[in-house]
Amino acid sequence: MGEQVRAPGRFIALEGGEGVGKSTQSKLLAEALRAGGYEVVLTREPGGTAGAEAIRSLLLGTEGEGWGARAEALLFAAARADHVERLIRPALARGAWVICDRFIDSSRAYQGGGSGLSDEDVLTLHRIGSEGLLPDLTLLFEVPVEVSSARLTARDADGSDRIGGRAADYHARVSAAFERFAEAEPERFVHLDGAEDVYVVHDAVMSALGPLL
Ligand SMILES: Nc1ncnc2c1ncn2[C@@H]1O[C@H](COP(=O)(O)OP(=O)(O)O)[C@@H](O)[C@H]1O
Ligand SMILES: Cc1cn([C@H]2C[C@H](O)[C@@H](COP(=O)(O)OP(=O)(O)O)O2)c(=O)[nH]c1=O
């Protein structure tokens, strides 16, 4: 093991719909950075801390009638607040890289684009919960819906979660919302073609990170 690099912490989020390769690429990115001597915190949302994982079970479990759109948005914001305060900010403060599988743009896309809350309201919850923390870079993976559906059929043979199982038009609004955010903030987003081979996508991720390394 080389000496840990003492640089300012960097916060990278991976975003997109289900089955686009976020968790696969998060792991490969974390391994590559660790091999380069960086301290890496690999985490995900909803989740990442004990409290946020408990909220994840409430949000994604398939028992009961589920949450209304506003309660759901508040629960995601609460899970994120705990995650940011207890895991992400301390890691960034000590100079670690934080690789996060989904972050605020998922709430903007799902609870906003998908469920109809305004972007302003979702961002207000984020300001209250997490003091508006944003990633340094957000990697947005895009895959044609036939490709991600085929992957999910193979991965989730035992069924999808409460949100993943929503109708196709809901997921189409989610994808369109991600697109709009990336267009509006080109300095924070990088688009990646998630339909390529896993290692081709990984190389594109490493190139996208170039300016931060
Ligand atoms: N580039 C790729 N090509 C083919 N299959 C992939 C690729 N990336 C991921 N997969 C597979 O597709 C499924 C979904 O990938 P995953 O990383 O879990 O996506 P997400 O976290 O975005 O839902 C998994 O079974 C994974 O092994
Ligand atoms: C973080 C977050 C996730 N979600 C949804 C997206 C997913 O359907 C679900 C769980 O995410 P995840 O486990 O990342 O699903 P996948 O690996 O299939 O992409 O939660 C929101 O609706 N809002 C949010 O803020």
Those residues whose C-beta lies under 8 Å from the C-beta of residue 105, and which sit 6 or more positions away, are: 13, 15, 138, 140, 178, 181
Is 95 labelled as part of a ligand binding site?
Answer: no
The minimum-distance atom of ligand 2 relative to the CA of 59 is 20
pLDDT digits (tens, 9 = 90+) for 75-103: 999 999 999 999 999 999 999 999 999 99
CATH number of 10-212: 3.40.50.300
Say what the pTM is: 0.96
d(CA 44, CA 58): 16
- The residue that leads in pLDDT, 157 or 151, is 151
- Is 23 labelled a binding residue? yes
Q: How far is CA 44 from CA 7, 34, 100, 141, 145, in A?
A: 23, 18, 5, 16, 23
ipTM: 0.98
Instruction: List the residue whose alpha carbon is closest to atom 10 of ligand 1.
Output: 21
Which of the ligands is closest to the CA of residue 150?
1
Residue 159 has a pLDDT of 83
Contacts of residue 64, defined as CB under 8 A and 6 or more positions apart, other chains included, come to: none
| 147 CA from centroid of ligand 1 (Å) | 10
